């Protein structure tokens, strides 16, 4: 499919999804979110895609936020529907995906942009990146999962400070508080994301999917994460990947996983 606001690039089993609105600092408008839903759904279903790297076009911004011009005419109902639709069709799709998704954060990741990065399973940032949730400066709060995922990543106190002050943090500070996994020079951003993803892709894909599900269960109300883990652990014993992994270990060779 040809997208107007995204670039899709495949590099082996890695698929790049690039937010391509550089003149708008890659802001997330409704059309971009709709395209992201299609691209993500297709990638998660594709046998040729092992994992995804999401980044922004250019060097200034990963995603500098939502497209505020689309907010002006919304009322309570419209705002509620906007947040619910975005979360269900994009942000939760990423977080609950069956394949690893890495955010390569170049430049500004603000508002919906930081929420997009936080929905990903791993975040790598360039050392010139700046991140924040400035919604309260518009009389809003984060609406795409920001209050929940930021709290899970950095803790309640730091999350409340970032949200209520609307201050940005540097990449170095983001690493210190656990908001990003790695900070690298800009030229090393994509190579580092690929390095991590390629290492993950050498592991058993069904086990990776099960691990994502189990870790996510820790943050879900009414879900026993330990039971999710137990069931996932048990199910792994019924896979061909488990048999291959054990055989490779005993034979002192590299495992060749098939995702079966």
Q: Residue 11, SS3?
A: strand
Q: How far apart are CA 217 and CA 10, in angstroms?
A: 30
**DSSP string over 22-50:** GGGTT-B-HHHHHHHHHHHHHHHH-TT--
Catalytic residue among 115, 161, 244, 256: 115
Catalytic residue among 22, 35, 81, 135: 135
| Opening angle at CA 91, ends 241 and 236, nearest 5 | 15
Q: How far apart are CA 113 and CA 25, in angstroms?
A: 10
Distances (CA, A) of 182 to 4, 17, 103, 110, 196: 31, 20, 11, 18, 10
135 is catalytic: yes
Q: How far apart are CA 135 and CA 151, in angstroms?
A: 16
Residue 240 has a CB neighbour count (10 Å cut-off) of 13
Active site residues: 115, 135
């Amino acid at each position: 499919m040809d997208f107007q606001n995204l670039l899709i690039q495949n590099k082996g089993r890695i698929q790049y999804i690039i937010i391509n609105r550089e003149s708008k600092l890659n802001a997330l408008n409704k059309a971009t979110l709709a395209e992201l839903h299609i691209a993500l759904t297709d990638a998660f279903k594709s046998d040729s895609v092992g994992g995804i790297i999401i980044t922004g076009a250019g060097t200034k911004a990963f995603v500098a936020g939502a497209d505020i011009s689309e907010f002006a005419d919304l009322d309570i109902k419209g705002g509620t529907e906007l947040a619910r639709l975005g979360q269900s069709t994009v942000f939760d799709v990423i977080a609950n995906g069956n394949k690893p998704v890495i955010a390569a954060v170049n430049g500004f990741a603000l508002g919906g942009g930081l929420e997009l990065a936080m929905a990903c399973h791993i975040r790598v940032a360039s050392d010139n990146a700046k991140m924040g949730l400035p919604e309260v400066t518009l009389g809003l709060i984060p609406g795409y999962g920001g209050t929940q995922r930021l709290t899970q990543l950095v803790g309640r106190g730091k999350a409340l400070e970032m949200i209520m002050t609307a201050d940005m943090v540097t990449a170095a500070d983001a690493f210190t508080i656990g908001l990003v996994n790695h900070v690298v020079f800009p030229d090393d951003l994509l190579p580092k994301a690929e390095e991590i993803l390629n290492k993950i892709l050498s592991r058993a894909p069904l086990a990776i999917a099960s691990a994502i599900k189990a870790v996510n269960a820790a943050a879900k109300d009414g879900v026993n994460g330990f039971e999710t883990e137990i069931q996932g652990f048990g199910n792994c014993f019924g896979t061909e990947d488990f048999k291959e992994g054990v055989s490779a270990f005993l034979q002192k060779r590299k495992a060749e996983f098939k995702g079966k």
